[in-house]
Structure 1
Amino acid sequence: MGNTVVVKPSGNTPLSVLTLVKVLNEELPEGILAVVSCGREVGARLTDHPAIGKIMFTGSTAAGPAIIKSSADTAKRLTLELDGNDAGIVLPDADPKAIAEDIFWGAFLNTGQTCAALKRLYVHDDVYDAVCEELTAVARAMPMGNGLDENNVLGPLQNKAQYDVVANLVEAAKASGARVLLGGNPDPEQPGYVYSTTLVADIDNDNPLVAKEQFGPALPIIRYTTIDEAVEKANALDVGLGASVWSSDHNAAREVALRVQSGPVWINGHGAVDPRIPFGGAKQSGYGLDFGVEGLKHLGVPQVINGQGLATKRRALHAIGVQCPPFLRPA
């Protein structure tokens, strides 16, 4: 789209971003792509700098308003991808065994450290126990541990602060009487911040493990009895980055999907972000779009160049026998 770009990595993950930019700059012309690894004070300077016309931010809902305020004086265009806490709804006609592995990867890809991961799962009474059983069997079979061991498919959390968030939310769920199907007791002997894959059932919708985005390997499974109840619970939070509906009936799933207040809604899958398809959240999950043609349009400024004066328009309309509207008639 003709832009130059300044990338500011998260303070938690500078090395991978610096490496990626180095690879990209082996092909790009000099000066097109720059990277600044820094703290929040430099990030804030980027958001209010008059030479920057567009900010694209991925991060917390708490940081979003600060960026909006900081960019307001220079009227910057914004694309904000903020907190998610994505909901999944399993309909009563779903086949628990058929969907269990896809639900697992929707929730636990990258050990749950993905904005558009499945963070809370609503399951109908008719299939609740079977879904819990099948999902537990899949999760138990997935090796987890040191990310440098290629036998592991899940690795550690990225930092101690996030490890503590997940551990505290799971402990609060256990204290409330929720039922732990798997995990919940991380092995202190594991290197790094490995928190064991955790499934929590029979949990209330207002429990912190459900209401707050855990961003880690702990999935709450909430029981419901009617579709209206499931949709109401899924929509109860002030975020809506993505969602999913799981069913053997595509039409029934689509009807439910249309009622969910979120960005993309996947059917029988979750988090399949495709660069050809626009992606963006609803409510306090942000605004603006990434990806696809619509996402590209958000990286440009439309301009219409009109070469016709009013007299030319009047003559053209008269030539085809069309009466001029009042605003084109001579005074």
Structure 2
Amino acid sequence: MQPNVKLYIDGKPAAARGMFEVVNPATAEPFAQCPSADLQMLDTAVAAARKAFPAWAAKDIEDRATLVEQIGDALEARKEEFTKLLSSEQGKPVHSGAVGEIMGALAWLRATAKLRPAVDVIKDDDVSYVEVRRKPLGVVASITPWNHPVMIAIWHVIPALIAGNTVVIKPSSMTPLTTLLLAELANEILPAGVVNSVAGEGGLGQAISSHPGIDKIVFTGSTPTGRHIMESAAANLKRLTLELGGNDAAIVLADADVDAIAPKIFAKTFGNSGQTCAALKRLYVHDSIHDALADRLAQMAKDAKMGPGDNPESQYGPIQNKSQFDFVVELADDARSQGAQFLAGGKADDGAGYFYPLTVVTQVTDGMRLVDEEQFGPILPIIRYHDVEDVLARANDNPNGLGGSIWSSDIDTATALAARMETGTAWVNDHATISPDAPFGGAKQSGIGVEFGHYGLEEYMQLQTIRIAK
């Protein structure tokens, strides 16, 4: 069935300038049409957001939070519709990944709705009173990716609204439907112009980046695109939150319990078929336990059930689009040509869709593309090492710095090593776990700024110092 999604500008459905196809990655065939916007519609959307900003910013934060909670209630009431549509456009299985994303988005929305900006009293003496307040920025533009189109839209939009900003959102053209449906729900609840949605290509992303009426951009996606956004945003010194690429390294120490860590490493690597920014992407394992852990992970990969999202038995879905599928194939072929050993997977089936099997690769090392580049797919390189200091240097020798982890039975040693990783987040005996109360963001070329919790809320606000002479 063709989903009836619309673009919303100034509280009303906007007449589309055209339509574009949305492909189901499980079949590699279009299954829906999505309305597209042009640059004039973007200007109209930004103008609507600017018009709505003063009243929304002036509204008591408790009232804003109540309306945001109502968006959550509306999403929960239609969660089955969202889950099925998400699976169709993104590929993740309905009964695991898709429902998990929708329920996670709900939990995140409700946690974020409870955040309140602080007022810091710096001085209160006989001479003066000084405090620091947080004020909304204005119009926030959200550009979302194709791997978690509902969850990341919630990450972007909800703190912007709680902070008192208005929003223009542009979803990925690969997975626009659920994000636009979320914007529609918001427009049924919020005042006109508070959330506006546009979709399509034709230079929309570039126009958003350089638009003088936009005060901040929050973007999740690739590092090259993040660089372009940063360049274009310089014209009016837009505030930026950029969550960019990661090539997360995990280091397994010699004393690690293989039986205990293998299932968690597997889950943190292959969740969403490896299409997660903070997924474990390079696994360094001490020589003494390398073979045992590699064999265990390979067997788990062979036992995994991959298939279309609407099949109740499917645990893992396809790669979301052909370009990413081709890139994973390219990395695998390059590793194979250099003598890599494929313990599981390594060759796509000839059937329909962008399915690539869960793949475990050994006999690889730094300097090979599969190790040095972010694969963003269901293929894990396992690198053998001997010396801890050497492997820590190798793990850090990468332009990305989103996350990293240490796995060991010695918590103190692991924690000390984790603190030396050049990453925005470092885990011990875990990886890729995030929560709405703790900041998450990248070091080096993995991004600028953080999301989540009070630290993330402040990214959507301007500090203002108030000084009162007594």
Question: Does the TM-score normalized on the shorter chain lie above 0.5?
Answer: yes
User: Which has more radius of gyration?
Assistant: 1
Looking at structure 2, the residues matched to 194 and 215 of structure 1 have their Cα atoms a distance apart, in angstroms, of 14
Contact 2:402 2:423 in 1 (8 A): yes
Summarize the alignment of residues 1-331 of structure 1 with structure 2, pairs less than 5 Å apart: 1-39=163-201, 41-189=203-351, 191-308=352-469, 312=470
The residue type equivalent to 2:167 in the other structure is V
Matched residue SS, 1:304:
strand
Root-mean-square deviation (Å): 1.2
Matched residue SS, 1:265:
strand
Instruction: Decide whether aligned partners of structure 1 residues 268 and 40 sit closer, same or farther in structure 2, where only a CA change above 3 A counts.
Output: farther
Looking at structure 2, the residues matched to 40 and 85 of structure 1 have their Cα atoms a distance apart, in angstroms, of 30
Looking at structure 2, the residues matched to 73 and 149 of structure 1 have their Cα atoms a distance apart, in angstroms, of 49
The answer for the alignment partner of 1:324 in structure 2 is: none
More helix by share: 2
Instruction: Decide whether aligned partners of structure 1 residues 226 and 296 sit closer, same or farther in structure 2, where only a CA change above 3 A counts.
Output: same
Consecutive unaligned residues of structure 1, counting only runs of 5 or more, are 313-331
Contact 2:298 2:359 in 1 (8 A): no
Among the aligned pairs, what percent are the same residue? 48
The residue type equivalent to 2:245 in the other structure is D
1:40, CA displacement in angstroms? 5.8
Looking at structure 1, the residues matched to 349 and 204 of structure 2 have their Cα atoms a distance apart, in angstroms, of 38
Looking at structure 2, the residues matched to 110 and 127 of structure 1 have their Cα atoms a distance apart, in angstroms, of 27
TM score, norm. by length of structure 2: 0.64
Matched residue SS, 2:353:
coil
Looking at structure 1, the residues matched to 312 and 331 of structure 2 have their Cα atoms a distance apart, in angstroms, of 29
Looking at structure 1, the residues matched to 336 and 428 of structure 2 have their Cα atoms a distance apart, in angstroms, of 31
The residue type equivalent to 1:251 in the other structure is D
Looking at structure 1, the residues matched to 188 and 434 of structure 2 have their Cα atoms a distance apart, in angstroms, of 27
Looking at structure 2, the residues matched to 23 and 241 of structure 1 have their Cα atoms a distance apart, in angstroms, of 32
1:25, CA displacement in angstroms? 3.2
Matched residue SS, 1:7:
strand
The residue type equivalent to 1:106 in the other structure is K
More strand by share: 2
Instruction: Decide whether aligned partners of structure 1 residues 168 and 43 sit closer, same or farther in structure 2, where only a CA change above 3 A counts.
Output: same
| Cα deviation code 1:238-283 (max 9, x no counterpart) | 1111111111111111011011101111111111121111000000
Looking at structure 2, the residues matched to 150 and 23 of structure 1 have their Cα atoms a distance apart, in angstroms, of 28
1:115, CA displacement in angstroms? 0.7
Looking at structure 2, the residues matched to 122 and 204 of structure 1 have their Cα atoms a distance apart, in angstroms, of 9
The residue type equivalent to 2:330 in the other structure is N
1:18, CA displacement in angstroms? 1.2
TM score, norm. by length of structure 1: 0.90
Looking at structure 2, the residues matched to 166 and 22 of structure 1 have their Cα atoms a distance apart, in angstroms, of 35
| Cα deviation code 1:168-193 (max 9, x no counterpart) | 1001111100110100012112x310
